[in-house]
């Protein structure tokens, strides 16, 4: 069969295409973005007419995927871990409604916070919602799991989560393709009230969910993704979840370790397999990428007399990503140390691209705030978060998508003036619009600067839902038209832009300044594409 060199993200995408996917949904977020991008650029997906447009945010994406499932077809939705917070409401309730066509929710976690605000572990959401979770250890397993996840989803009538982490998402390896499955036919739910979570129905459905979750524990005892590998040395036993298994095996290149190992890649936890291992070993080490979920469960509140080690006793660092060296120490090996990094090596944080519009916007904001004392600038998630770093040092917050607008409203309530929010165009349509409506309804004295680069820039330039609509959205939400100002962040417009900002900072009501200039990266790519198109004509 065909062998392809794929990122973990791409393996999942191709797995879904080959498993008869009908709709792919999502909002860009590192490290999940390449799943949708692969399907968008796939000619096969095009010829199969697979729906594959970005959604306004993760919540709308998951709901649309649930709607696709309603028609009996297979749907997948992908997001980064913090995106699942946004989509938590439909996620948890979709476990109660159940599904019709198979539904996979991919959540890509970012331990060590390479590109994120936290390192939350999505497996907790799976447990919270009573949803089965698959956690692939490598690219081939990621590909294979997708069709199995769809089948499991349809067998139990439940959504299935696929949890990956940055390292798998963004690492390439060869993947062998399987036979392609056709898309599912249009078939509405046999029970027309399946998705109606009125309390009387919800109680019945919730009880069925609890029963299904118990059955899944038995199902997972037999899962081909949970592998027990016995060993003669019973002093230690290791339970390794997902990619942690690879980091363990890397340390035993010649035939593997001599102690028993249980690899877990299918949740809920297979209780029997775990007690098989713990029953035969004096001590158990637990390796998990992310939070110590299993470790906490095994330790419990009361001492179970089993010697357990892992992240909670310091055998493995409490936070941060695993790697082969960290795991080597955990199992009592002495890893190679390598050389020290010389002190002269300085850190090199990311910075605005040369010619970036956000930089000109911040330069104008910095100067416009000078006449006002005691200011605070709330900001948001995007490239412009780099405004927190030198030489700008201008923003005072970056919390979650859309929080700049609503924190500015709250701070204005608390007496801050001017209370300023800086938010990107895509982040604004993701979660800023509702906050702006709050501001309008109470005529809050805030200035919202939308730094509009006409793209979702930080994740690589995906389509922004805001493009061409910002002024009309703000007007529609009730911002007075004379306080919706448009500026172009260019050095030559600096004085004029500062003047406009000062006017709006001084206004004691809701004002919006749309600072619009195309992202320098997407502009370069667009010009290149246009030039090559002209050449080929």
CB of residue 169 to another protein, shortest distance in Å: 8
**Where in 86-145 is the site for another protein (CB under 8 A)?**
114-115, 138
**Contact letters for another protein, residues 174-203 (x by CB under 8 A):** x-----------------------------
Q: How many CB atoms lie within 10 A of CB 424?
A: 30
- Regarding 395 and contact with another protein (CB under 8 A), the answer is no
Phi, psi angle pair for 133, to nearest 5°: -125, 135
In the chain, what is the straight-line distance between the N-terminal and C-terminal CA atoms, in Å?
A: 38
In this complex, which beta carbon is closest to another protein, that of residue 315 or of residue 439? 315
- Regarding 250 and contact with another protein (CB under 8 A), the answer is yes
Pick from 51, 155, 170, 177: which binds another protein (CB under 8 A)? Answer: 170
CB of residue 524 to another protein, shortest distance in Å: 11
CB of residue 175 to another protein, shortest distance in Å: 12
Strand 261-264 vs strand 160-165: parallel, antiparallel, or unpaired?
Answer: unpaired
Closest CA to 134 of 296, 4, 24, 12: 12
Helix axis angle, 8-18 to 33-41, nearest 10°: 50
Pick from 17, 26, 34, 269: which binds another protein (CB under 8 A)? Answer: 34
Q: Binding segment for another protein among 11-19, 55-63, 212-220, 243-251 (CB under 8 A)?
A: 243-251
**Contact letters for another protein, residues 335-364 (x by CB under 8 A):** xxxxxxxx-xxxxxxxxxx-----------
- Regarding 527 and contact with another protein (CB under 8 A), the answer is no
DSSP per-residue string spanning 342-359: PTTPPP----PPTT-HHH
- Regarding 390 and contact with another protein (CB under 8 A), the answer is yes
Q: How many CB atoms lie within 10 A of CB 291?
A: 19
Question: Does residue 159 contact residue 91 with C-beta atoms inside 8 Å?
Answer: yes
- Regarding 332 and contact with another protein (CB under 8 A), the answer is no
- Regarding 1 and contact with another protein (CB under 8 A), the answer is no
Question: Does residue 291 contact residue 315 with C-beta atoms inside 8 Å?
Answer: no
Residues 6+ apart with CB under 8 A from 382: 423, 424, 426, 427, 451, 457, 458
CB of residue 452 to another protein, shortest distance in Å: 18
Q: What is residue 462's DSSP assignment? A: B
- Regarding 30 and contact with another protein (CB under 8 A), the answer is yes
Closest CA to 327 of 257, 276, 265: 257
CB of residue 47 to another protein, shortest distance in Å: 22
Name the residues that contact another protein, by CB under 8 A.
5, 7, 30-31, 33-34, 114-115, 138, 167-168, 170-174, 243, 246-247, 249-251, 253, 323-325, 328, 335-342, 344-353, 383, 386, 390, 458-460
């Amino acid at each position: 069969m065909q062998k392809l060199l794929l990122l973990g993200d791409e393996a999942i995408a191709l797995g879904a295409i080959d498993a008869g996917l009908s709709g792919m949904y999502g909002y860009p977020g590192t490290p999940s973005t390449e799943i949708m991008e692969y399907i968008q650029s796939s000619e096969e997906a095009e010829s199969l007419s697979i729906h594959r447009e970005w959604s306004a945010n993760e919540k709308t994406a998951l709901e649309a995927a649930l709607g696709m499932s309603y028609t009996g077809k297979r749907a997948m939705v992908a997001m980064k871990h913090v995106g699942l917070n946004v989509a938590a409401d439909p996620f948890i309730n979709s476990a109660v409604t159940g599904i019709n066509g198979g539904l996979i929710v991919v959540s890509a976690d970012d331990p060590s916070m390479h590109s994120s605000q936290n390192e939350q572990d999505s497996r907790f959401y799976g447990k919270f919602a009573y949803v089965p979770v698959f956690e692939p250890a490598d690219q081939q397993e990621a590909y294979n799991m997708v069709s199995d996840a769809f089948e499991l989803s349809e067998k139990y009538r439940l959504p299935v989560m696929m949890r990956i982490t940055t390292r798998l998402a963004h690492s390439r390896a060869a993947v062998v393709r399987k036979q392609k499955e056709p898309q599912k036919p249009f078939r509405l739910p046999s029970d027309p009230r399946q998705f109606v979570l009125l309390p009387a129905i919800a109680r019945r459905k919730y009880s069925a969910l609890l029963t299904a979750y118990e059955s899944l524990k038995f199902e997972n005892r037999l899962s081909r993704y949970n592998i027990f590998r016995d060993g003669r040395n019973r002093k230690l036993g290791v339970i390794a979840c997902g990619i942690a298994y690879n980091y363990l095996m890397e340390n035993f290149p010649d035939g593997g370790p001599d102690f028993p190992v249980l690899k877990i890649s299918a949740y809920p936890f297979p209780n029997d397999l775990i007690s098989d291992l713990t029953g035969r070993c004096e001590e158990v080490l637990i390796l998990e990428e992310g939070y110590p979920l299993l470790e906490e469960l095994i330790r419990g509140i009361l001492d179970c007399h089993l010697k357990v080690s892992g992240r909670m006793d310091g055998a493995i660092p409490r936070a941060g990503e695993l790697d082969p060296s960290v795991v080597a120490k955990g199992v009592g090996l002495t890893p190679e140390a390598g050389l020290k990094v010389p002190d002269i090596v300085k850190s090199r944080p990311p910075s605005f691209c040369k010619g970036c519009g956000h930089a000109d916007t911040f330069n104008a904001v910095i100067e416009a705030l000078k006449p006002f004392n005691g200011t605070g600038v709330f900001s948001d998630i995007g490239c412009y978060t780099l405004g927190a770093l030198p030489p700008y040092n201008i923003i005072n917050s970056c919390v979650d998508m859309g929080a700049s607008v609503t924190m500015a409203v709250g701070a204005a309530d608390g007496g801050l003036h001017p209370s300023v929010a800086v938010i990107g165009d895509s982040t604004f349509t993701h979660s800023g619009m509702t906050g702006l409506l709050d501001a309008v309804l109470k005529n809050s004295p805030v200035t919202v600067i939308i730094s509009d680069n006409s793209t979702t820039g930080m994740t690589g330039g995906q389509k922004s839902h805001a493009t061409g609509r910002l002024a009309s959205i703000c007007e529609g939400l009730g911002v007075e038209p004379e306080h919706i100002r448009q500026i172009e962040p260019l050095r030559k417009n600096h004085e004029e832009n500062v003047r406009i900002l000062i006017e709006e900072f001084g206004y004691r009501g809701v004002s919006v300044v749309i600072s619009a200039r195309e992202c320098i990266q997407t502009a370069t790519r667009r010009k290149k594409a246009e030039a090559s198109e002209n050449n080929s004509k």
